[in-house]
Amino acid sequence: MKNEAKAANGGALSIDQAVAKLGEPKKKNPADTDETVPADDETSPEAEDAREQAQGEDEPDADSETDDDESEDAELEPPKFWDAKAKERFGDLPRDLQEIVLAKENERNQATAKALQDAATHRKTAEAEATRFKSAADGLTQILPQTQNNFEHRWSNVDWKKVIEQRGAEETLKLQHQMQTEQRGLQRLAAAKELTDRLAHARFVQEQEQLVPQHAPDLADARQGRARREEVGRFLLGLGVPATRIPHMSALEAGLAYDAMQWRNGKAKADTLVRAPRETAPQKRTPAKPGGTASRGSAQQNRIAALSHKKELTIDEAVELHNLKGLQ
């Protein structure tokens, strides 16, 4: 037979085996189902929504990818406090260098903020200590004179021989011990007052030194400031200012003293020039030209006469008078 059925082992089936095969139920294909889905169920709105939802879960979110790409490709802003030219140069840098620059700027800003915070903390601590120090110094200033007066009033006029006669040796020793204890306490107060005075003066000098560039910039000059300060000191001593007062001058007072010294020195020089004898050598005078020359000469003579009749001249007026006389 041409269409022989074959057994499972590849050989031909016998008649009995073929009959048995015909009686077996037909095996179903896994893809086949007993129930078929109606055609209109396949296009129902529910089915469409389900399919779209399933597709939406499988497909990537195009908007999120776009946002990520845009965030990566967005231009980086230059540092806020850079000038316009630097910001323009920042835009020309590659992105990786821009990121490095921004990271370093962020580190610098954080370090600057920390330094400012530390400085503010130190300043508050110093101000609190200065307040406590001032309170202690003021207290010593008030207590020490009173304590000294009490000590002198109690012990300065004691006649110890009479005390021994009246109270005995043992009581006298107790009183002397009390006096020595009070005296040591008074010495400690005096030493504390001296220390606070030195510290107060050092703090005063430090504070005023920072104000010198504002009130007396010439005295803050790096090259000539020291020599000018010494000159101001000699100038004040010459005026009779006590030597102990000069180190306690404020920056404003030092600036005023320096200005006064300059004005007096300039006035002295001007007075010297005005009082200097004129040259006796004859000067050749050219005849006056008609027109404005005569009027100009008369104006100079009038100005000389006006300045000569003034009781006191400023530095500028003294120099002007000297120059006008030299032109005659």
pLDDT of residue 212: 93
pLDDT of residue 13: 53
User: What is d(CA 160, CA 172) in angstroms, rounded to the nearest whole number?
Assistant: 7
- Is-contact 239 287, C-beta < 8 A? no
Q: Which two tokens stand for residue 28?
A: 């179903």
Give the pLDDT confidence of 94-108 residue by residue, as tens digits.
999 989 999 999 998
Give the pLDDT confidence of 107-118 residue by residue, as tens digits.
988 998 999 888
Please work out, in degrees rounded to the nearest 5, the angle formed at the alpha carbon of residue 138 by the alpha carbons of 132 and 141.
145
Q: Which residues pair with 6 in a beta bridge?
A: 12
Residue environment code for 208-230, b if the CB has 16+ CB neighbours within 10 A, otherwise e:
beeebeebbebbbeeeebeebbe
- Give the residue from 21, 18, 16 showing the smallest Cα distance to 3: 18
User: What is d(CA 259, CA 251) in angstroms, rounded to the nearest whole number?
Assistant: 12
200 or 5, higher pLDDT: 200
Answer whether residue 211 shows pLDDT above 90. yes
Q: Which two tokens stand for residue 234?
A: 């000699």
User: What is d(CA 153, CA 163) in angstroms, rounded to the nearest whole number?
Assistant: 16
Report DSSP state, residue 280: -
Is 0.85 surpassed by the pTM of this model?
A: no
Answer whether residue 157 shows pLDDT above 50. yes
